């Protein structure tokens, strides 16, 4: 695999970082995952706008200030790796510095882009998944797509051990999002999802699904739903860049609806596939 690392194209084995890199020592950095279909990155501009906002939130210097520079790198990365289906991973850390909790005054950021093959999880789209609930133990700036993912990985691993496909996170008895996804519920015929505030990451797929729902004149309520409402919902589904729209058939020991993907979920899946041109 050929990567873009610190301004140069390198084989992955030659792309190294210092043991003193703040991304390694403190998780001091940000990232984006951009889906690739038919050799083209999907919604790269939207992802990079969020990347810029995350960098701003952490006072993290950017390697380039023009989105066009990143798009050029992405396209060359895809071509060098002959990737037609998969994703681009984009990461920025504050770079190498002596270990200190105080951020360095003039850091040299570490910037990396690479590709990874990935195929659409169609079986999950068709069959749905089982999930668990888990306390939302993350920090209070979840709108920043930072490298600090330990609570997410702990929750997702607990789901894996339970033979579930995702962990739905609960904070103060409300549904926030999943360990790696956004959560939607259908409550009394209305599509409900958490507001895009500091308690969730405003997923790019989440935004697209809301736009599609609005286009189809579906009733939408952007609010924090309670855990009781989660278990009473007639339909539940999750969204993410890689997973797209995946129905939730079971939460803990509770079966959602009749245990099969619901009609509104199916409708949005079809709309999203049409949006992708698939």
C-alpha neighbours within 13 Å on the C-beta side of residue 16 = 5
**What is the separation, in whole angstroms, between the first and last Cα of the chain?**
27
Catalytic hit among 10, 56, 145, 158: 145
C-alpha to C-alpha distance for 73 and 228, rounded to whole angstroms: 46
**Contact of 98 with 53, CB cutoff 8 Å:** no
Residue 94 is classified by DSSP as -
Residues with Cβ within 8 Å of 125's Cβ and at least 6 positions away in sequence, in order, are 244, 245, 246, 247, 269
In three-state secondary structure terms, 113 is strand
255 has which bridge partners?
Answer: 250
* Residue 158: Cβ within 10 Å count: 14
From residue 158, alpha-carbon distances to 21, 152, 162 in Å are 29, 10, 6
Q: Is 158 a catalytic residue?
A: no
Residues serving a catalytic function are: 145
């Amino acid at each position: 695999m050929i990567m873009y690392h610190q301004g140069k194209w390198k084989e992955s084995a030659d792309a190294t970082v210092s043991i003193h890199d703040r991304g390694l020592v403190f998780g001091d950095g940000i990232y984006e995952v951009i889906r690739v279909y038919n050799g083209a990155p999907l919604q790269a501009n939207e992802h990079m706008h969020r990347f810029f906002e995350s960098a701003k939130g952490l006072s993290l210097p950017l390697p380039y200030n023009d989105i066009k520079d990143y798009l050029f790198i992405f396209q060359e990365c895809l071509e060098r790796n002959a990737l037609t289906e998969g994703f681009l991973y984009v990461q920025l850390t504050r770079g190498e510095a002596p270990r200190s909790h105080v951020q360095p005054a003039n850091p040299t950021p570490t910037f990396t882009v690479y590709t990874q093959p990935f195929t659409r999880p169609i079986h999950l789209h068709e069959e749905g998944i089982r999930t668990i609930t888990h306390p939302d133990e993350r920090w209070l700036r979840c709108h920043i797509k930072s490298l600090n993912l330990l609570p997410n990985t702990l929750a997702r691993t607990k789901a894996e051990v339970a033979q579930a496909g995702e962990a739905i996170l609960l904070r103060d008895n409300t549904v926030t999002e999943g360990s790696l996804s956004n959560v939607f519920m259908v409550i009394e015929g209305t599509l409900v999802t958490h507001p895009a505030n500091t308690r969730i990451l405003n997923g790019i797929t989440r935004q697209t699904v809301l736009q599609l729902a609005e286009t189809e004149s579906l009733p939408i309520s952007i609010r924090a739903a309670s855990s009781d409402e989660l278990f009473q919902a007639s339909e539940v589904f999750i969204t993410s860049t890689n997973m797209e729209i995946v129905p939730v058939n079971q939460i803990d020991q509770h079966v959602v609806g009749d245990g099969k993907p619901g009609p509104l979920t199916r409708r949005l899946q079809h709309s999203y596939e049409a949006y992708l041109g698939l």
